[in-house]
C-alpha cells in the first residue's frame, strides 16, 4: 500500500477520533484563549508526541490480536466494564466538580508542552481505538503491519490529532459562550458517548455467546 495513502488514513482516523469535545481538545482551546495561541500549540505538540507512541503501541497490539483472535473476546469484556465505569463517572460524579481552572499557575510554553504530554499519557482511549481501526483497515488490505507502514500511520495519526486540536484552538473564541462548552454539558456528552460504546460492546458480547 502506498505510504501516502497510509499517512492520510492515519490522519483522517485520528482526526475523527478527536472531534468530540474532550479533555485534550478543550484544554488546548482554553490554554490558547487564556495564554495565547503559542501556548496552545505547545500543549498540542506535547499531546501529539504521546499520540504517536500510543498509536505505535496500538499497532503492535493490533498485530498481536490479528494472530490471536481469542484474546479479543477477553479484551471486549474488559472494555465493557471500563466504558460502564467511565459513563457512570461522567454522568453522575464529574458534574459535581467546581474547579474548572486548576492550573492557572502554569506559565511557560515548556510547562504547557509537558502538560500536554501528561494529559495525553493518562488518556488511553487512542490505544484501543487505533488498535481496532488498524485491524479494520488491515482486513480491507489498506494497511500492512510492517515497520514502514506502522511509522507512516503513526505520523499521520499525530498530524490528524494536531489538526483537530488546532481547529479547536482557532474556533474556540467564537464558540466559548455556547452552552455546550460548559463543563457539565461536556461531561454529559462524554458520558453519553461512552454509554453508547458500552451498549454496542455489550450487544457484541451477547451475540458472540
Report the greatest alpha carbon distance in the chain: 53
Q: pLDDT at residue 31 above 80?
A: yes
Q: Give the pLDDT score at 33.
A: 82
Share of the chain above pLDDT 70, in %: 77
Q: pLDDT digits over 47-76, tens only? A: 999 999 999 999 998 888 877 767 767 766
Confirm whether pTM is higher than 0.85.
Answer: no
HSE-up (13 A, CA, CB side) for residue 131? 20
Q: pLDDT digits over 83-126, tens only? A: 788 778 777 776 544 444 444 444 567 788 898 999 898 888 88
Residue closest to 30 by CA, chosen among 130, 121, 102, 138? 102
d(CA 153, CA 166): 20
Q: pLDDT digits over 127-146, tens only? A: 888 887 888 788 788 888 88
Residue 200: CB partners within 8 Å, gap ≥ 6? none
Rounded mean pLDDT, 198-203? 76
Amino acid at each position: 500500500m502506498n505510504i501516502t495513502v497510509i499517512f492520510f488514513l492515519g490522519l483522517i482516523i485520528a482526526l475523527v477520533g478527536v472531534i468530540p469535545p474532550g479533555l485534550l481538545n478543550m484544554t488546548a482551546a482554553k490554554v490558547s484563549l487564556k495564554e495565547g495561541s503559542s501556548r496552545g500549540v505547545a500543549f498540542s505538540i506535547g499531546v501529539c508526541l504521546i499520540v504517536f507512541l500510543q498509536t505505535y503501541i496500538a499497532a503492535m497490539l493490533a498485530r498481536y490480536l490479528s494472530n490471536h483472535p481469542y484474546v479479543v473476546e477477553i479484551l471486549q469484556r474488559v472494555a465493557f466494564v471500563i466504558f460502564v465505569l467511565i459513563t457512570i463517572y461522567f454522568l453522575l460524579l464529574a458534574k459535581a466538580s467546581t474547579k474548572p481552572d486548576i492550573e492557572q499557575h502554569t506559565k511557560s510554553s515548556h510547562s504547557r508542552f509537558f502538560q500536554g504530554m501528561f494529559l495525553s499519557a493518562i488518556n488511553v482511549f487512542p490505544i484501543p481505538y487505533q488498535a481496532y481501526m488498524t485491524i479494520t483497515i488491515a482486513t480491507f488490505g489498506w494497511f500492512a503491519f510492517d515497520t514502514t507502514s506502522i511509522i507512516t500511520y503513526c505520523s499521520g495519526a499525530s498530524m490528524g490529532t494536531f489538526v483537530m486540536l488546532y481547529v479547536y484552538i482557532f474556533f474556540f473564541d467564537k464558540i466559548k459562550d455556547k452552552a455546550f462548552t460548559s463543563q457539565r454539558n461536556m461531561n454529559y456528552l462524554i458520558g453519553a458517548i461512552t454509554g453508547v460504546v458500552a451498549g454496542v460492546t455489550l450487544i457484541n458480547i451477547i451475540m458472540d455467546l
